[in-house]
Copies of this chain bind each other. A is one copy, B any other.
Amino acid sequence: MADGAFAQALELINPHLYSVEERIRAQAKQFDPAVEGYVSYVCEKGGKRLRPVLALLAGGATGKITASHVDLAVIVELIHIATLVHDDIMDGAELRRDQPTANAKWGNAISVLLGDCLFAHALKLATGFSNTEICRRIADAAAEVCSGEIIQTQRRYDLKLSTADYYRIIEMKTAALFSTACELGAFISEANPAVIGALKNFGAKVGTAYQIYDDCLDLAGTEEEAGKTLGTDLRKGKFTLPVLLMLQNRQGGDLSGLRDLLLREDHVDEEALSEMLKQAGALQAAAQIARRMIGEGRESLVLVPENRYVSGLRAIADHLIGRIDRLA
């Protein structure tokens, strides 16, 4: 099994990941009792904990994994959960990690506030670092994530969105938190600037590739496999890489037909689009771009002195490539 290395990487940080899970679970208790239930619902739904995994592996790649790395892992995951809660409101999504979303369960008003609460709480935890630089970078990443989401929302149904615009959006909304997890993992270990920069770059590339993968999944995956509502991007006018690549390569009547399909708010003909994507090889092209990015991220790891955790980071990258391969 190709994923042996991936399993090994997780095994390596298993006790720390366990602490992260415990700590995330314990956060709910720090809220008012009236709010606790909401917090624990969205925090305990599991998820892949990708950002914590990266923070911990980056820590191990550059030294000993400490309580501060666990703190970092908890904080980046809480920020991620907060953005998911707000994303699901905007997407009108019903399902997340195989369970009803917060908005499906309690409505939009509670969900807006719940996201805010988690966000504020994560930043409160970040003030626990004695080095204020860490807290600053976390707040910075959080602001970047939100700005990226705003631009994405602003450009919905915009047929002039270029692939460059798309990359910029996903670098902000997704890669910023991945790269901060890796960068600060190394920063906490007091690694040298070149190593910190290399890990930051690794996180940025893997994060961008991950979002491309996730966007392909939304177009071509099955809900059963993904555990969340799919097809929401097109229904909400979010044109992601495969669609943009297809738009780039069409002219004349073909282009008009595709544009018409894409602009049909709320009743997208998913089958017709899926057929077009297949014929154009657009998913494959997007997948290829994601693979290339992961390759670039992998390459930047040559600057990091070798150990088991560095191999672990490579295994994460390879695992993502494997998932991309299965999809397209």
Where the two chains meet, the residues of A that have a C-beta atom closer than 8 Å to any C-beta of B are: 31-32, 34-35, 38, 83, 86, 89-90, 108-110, 112-117, 119-121, 123-124, 126-130, 132, 135-136, 139-140, 142-143, 145-147, 149-151, 153-154, 172
When distances are taken between beta carbons in the complex, the residues of chain B under 8 Å from A172 are: 32
The smallest beta-carbon distance between A276 and chain B, in angstroms, is: 27
Give the residue of B34, B140, B149 whose beta carbon is less than 8 angstroms from that of A150.
B34
Give the residue of B117, B132, B142 whose beta carbon is less than 8 angstroms from that of A146.
B117
Specify how many copies of this chain sit in the oligomer: 2
Give the residue of B32, B86, B143 whose beta carbon is less than 8 angstroms from that of A112.
B86
When distances are taken between beta carbons in the complex, the residues of chain B under 8 Å from A153 are: 109-110, 113
When distances are taken between beta carbons in the complex, the residues of chain B under 8 Å from A89 are: 108-109, 112
When distances are taken between beta carbons in the complex, the residues of chain B under 8 Å from A147 are: 31-32, 34-35, 117
Asked if A117 and B34 sit within 8 Å, CB to CB, the answer is no
Asked if A112 and B110 sit within 8 Å, CB to CB, the answer is no
The smallest beta-carbon distance between A303 and chain B, in angstroms, is: 28
When distances are taken between beta carbons in the complex, the residues of chain B under 8 Å from A119 are: 116, 119-120
Say whether chain A's binding surface is mostly helix, strand, loop, or mixed: helix
Asked if B136 and A109 sit within 8 Å, CB to CB, the answer is no
A116-B142, A120-B123, A127-B139 known; 16 other A-B pairs, CB under 8 Å?
A: A31-B143, A32-B172, A35-B150, A86-B113, A86-B116, A113-B146, A113-B150, A116-B116, A116-B146, A119-B119, A120-B142, A120-B143, A120-B145, A120-B146, A124-B140, A126-B139
The smallest beta-carbon distance between A176 and chain B, in angstroms, is: 11
When distances are taken between beta carbons in the complex, the residues of chain B under 8 Å from A112 are: 86, 89-90, 112, 115
CA distance A227 to B70 in the complex (A): 48
Instruction: Name which residue of chain B comes closest to A139, CB basis.
Output: B124
When distances are taken between beta carbons in the complex, the residues of chain B under 8 Å from A130 are: 132
The smallest beta-carbon distance between A81 and chain B, in angstroms, is: 13
Task: List, sorted by A's number, 28 A–B pairs whose CB atoms are closer than 8 Å.
Answer: A32-B147, A34-B147, A86-B116, A90-B108, A90-B113, A108-B108, A110-B150, A110-B154, A113-B149, A115-B116, A116-B119, A116-B149, A117-B146, A117-B147, A119-B119, A120-B142, A120-B146, A121-B143, A124-B136, A124-B139, A124-B142, A126-B127, A128-B132, A129-B132, A130-B132, A132-B132, A132-B135, A135-B135
CA distance A139 to B113 in the complex (A): 15
